[in-house]
Structure 1
Amino acid sequence: MTTQTLNKNNLKKLKIIFSGTPIFAAKHLQSLANYKYNIVAVITKKNNKSKRGSKTIESPVKKIAKIYSIPTFEINCLSKDRKIVENLKKLNADVMIVVAYGSIVPHSILNLFPFGCINLHPSLLPRWRGASPISSSILFGDKITGITIIRMNESIDSGKIMFSSKCFIKKKETSYSLEKKLFKLGIYCIIRVLKKIEHKEPIKLISQNESLTTYAKKFKKENARIDWNKTACYIERLIRAFFPWPIGYFIFHNIKIKVIQSSVINNKKTHKIGEIIKISKKGIQVNTKNGIILLKKIQFPGKKIISIQDFINSNKKLLKTGIILN
């Protein structure tokens, strides 16, 4: 079922505060606004500085809020803002929706609204609580993921489940493609919950099974560095998990080479780990701890993404058969 099948006419009564920061959250905010929900305020993280430090970059959620003329609070830490509770009280909101805000919501806000604070999380909780559930589900080889809507409490992603829905992770799924899929599922799920609230339908709250809990840490750029001592299957998942950010890479002769696309060859050969076995128009074969990884698309610093056929045609001398990529 997609969001197009939902009726827009009955979605205007609840007064909602929306809290989120990245693109994933911004898409949900935009969809809710398009469905004519009454979003009375937005909470998002403050502007970031650009890499060169001369420009400030608005959060994706703030950009959407401006388009729809929604009042916005820019706060990096809700627990340290002395005025936010009083400011939110004045809005007389019914519920707060949180989608990847990026900071803990304190007790003083959790109980501020008649229907509480609702969190949309892109995993099947309690699996992958934390900051990077989408990347983690691909990196660790999950076959199924989904969306979980919880009634928030003071612990991270541990509130009672209000609604959840599953989706399959395809064999060649990247974080980019999976996020798009989860957004479509997410907006459907949150609207289902909001309609139940609005129509005063009972919602069964289900406690999470703590014995099944796993945590998705916040990834950094260095987490995307390829370790040839891992298996070919793991490296292939890493490359998909970290696209489009931070992008899997290896360093050779102090040059950072990003790997955009790859596949696994299961042949076992007696080569050293990290050794380039073969270079052809199909890709660069590199031996790993278990299996061979075929690098299909790469990117050199400051250059566009290229296929290995393009790499061969450009007469690059850096990567050759027999070289060890340590």
Structure 2
Amino acid sequence: MKKIKIIFAGTDKFSSIHLNELILKKFNILTVITKTDKKIGRGKKIQFSEVKKTAIKHKLQLIQLDSLNLEKYSKILKKKKPDMMIIVSFGLIIPNKIIKIFRLGCINIHTSLLPKFRGPSPIQSAILQGEKKTGISIIQINNKLDTGNILYKKSINIKKTDTYNTLKKKLTILGKKSLIKFLKNIVLKKTLSIPQNENKATYTKKIYKKNGLINWNKKASKIEKKVRAFNSWPGTFFFIKKIMIKIMKVNIIKSTKKITPGKIIQADKNGILISTKNNLINVTELQISGKKINKVCKIIHSYKKLFKIGRVLL
């Protein structure tokens, strides 16, 4: 496996796990590219990316970028005569000048079954839309977002209880296994290159903190999916007297009665029952602003006034 000379580009933990897997399987990593360090708070503390930590640990050459200006490193990369660039959760577009350097091209690992859910939030979108399956797609990089030919694809089932965190863990395991399998296929010359069907393409949007605000006029099933999809960031939340209440776990209680959406119907050790457009949402675990995450049954007696029965949430 040392014959394939690799440049690796990535940033977050998902990316670093894939880099670790390549190191574990003794692939030849020439250089690691990641984003520049982040300043925390008032700039007194510096935060390294997870990929940088991995590169330092294994004494790999490191290039850090603060913009799209990767082209200035083209001469350095050319001298290394790399075969392939592997991109995992990098967050920066690779210019054509860089792509042309690699004999085997640039590949990207995407956490959806492309062409469905292109863009920045494929895991959340799969849960939000009630998909039964998702997976990993390894594609050839081109000058457009997530549109390159599919080189390898593997699917997994989505459980009704899956959250963003649990599904990402599954996709991380699937991703690193898929990457090694794909690279072995290259050595054996068994790779495929299948163009994506543009007629079936869908796009996801970047998620912001404000997207986590609950709209009780939505159906209970939509709210329940949102709670799972936005766990742990940005979270789903509502306000009572300007106090943010973050929802951690819910279940749906069916109801045939017409009730004003957002009304607290019940608040006891079994949960906080809130009406929606159709059925009821039962909040069983939450976080009150400034407090720890807790089960409703453990804190409800201390917050009876906050979750007053009959209160309508805006």
Q: TM-score range by the shorter chain?
A: over 0.9
Q: Specify the alignment match of 2:182 in structure 1.
A: 193
**C-alpha contact (below 8 Å) 2:258/2:278 kept by paired residues:** no
Q: Specify the alignment match of 2:137 in structure 1.
A: 148
Amino acid at match of 2:295: S
Q: Specify the alignment match of 1:124 in structure 2.
A: 113
User: What's the C-alpha RMSD, in Å, of the aligned pairs?
Assistant: 1.3
- Once the two structures are TM-superposed, the CA of residue 82 in structure 1 deviates from its matched residue by 4.6
2:287 is aligned with 1:299: yes
* Aligned 1:8-27 pairs, distance under 5 A: 11-27=1-17
Summarize deviations over 1:70-112 as a string: whole Å, max 9, x none.
Answer: 111111333x245211121122111010111001111111121
Q: Specify the alignment match of 2:49 in structure 1.
A: 59
Q: Specify the alignment match of 2:23 in structure 1.
A: 33
**C-alpha contact (below 8 Å) 1:255/1:301 kept by paired residues:** yes
Q: Secondary structure, in 3 states, of the residue corresponding to 2:108? A: strand
1:255 to 237, 243, 246: 243
TM-score (norm 2): 0.97
Separation (CA, whole Å) in 2 of partners of 1:75 and 1:166: 33
* Aligned 1:40-55 pairs, distance under 5 A: 40-55=30-45
Q: Specify the alignment match of 2:161 in structure 1.
A: 172
Separation (CA, whole Å) in 2 of partners of 1:41 and 1:302: 43
**C-alpha contact (below 8 Å) 1:76/1:103 kept by paired residues:** no
2:78 to 82, 85, 89: 89
How many positions carry a matched residue from both structures? Answer: 314
Q: Specify the alignment match of 2:262 in structure 1.
A: 274
Separation (CA, whole Å) in 2 of partners of 1:82 and 1:138: 37
Q: Secondary structure, in 3 states, of the residue corresponding to 2:126? A: helix
Q: Specify the alignment match of 2:122 in structure 1.
A: 133
Q: Specify the alignment match of 1:99 in structure 2.
A: 88
2:312 is aligned with 1:321: no
Amino acid at match of 1:23: K
Q: Secondary structure, in 3 states, of the residue corresponding to 1:194? A: helix
2:233 is aligned with 1:245: yes
Could you say if the C-alpha distance between residues 170 and 39 of structure 1 is closer, same or farther in structure 2, counting changes exceeding 3 Å? same
2:63 is aligned with 1:73: yes
- Once the two structures are TM-superposed, the CA of residue 315 in structure 1 deviates from its matched residue by 4.2
TM-score (norm 1): 0.93
Which ranges of structure 1 fall in alignment gaps of 5 or more residues? 1-10
- Once the two structures are TM-superposed, the CA of residue 158 in structure 1 deviates from its matched residue by 0.3
Separation (CA, whole Å) in 2 of partners of 1:173 and 1:202: 34
Which ranges of structure 2 fall in alignment gaps of 5 or more residues? none
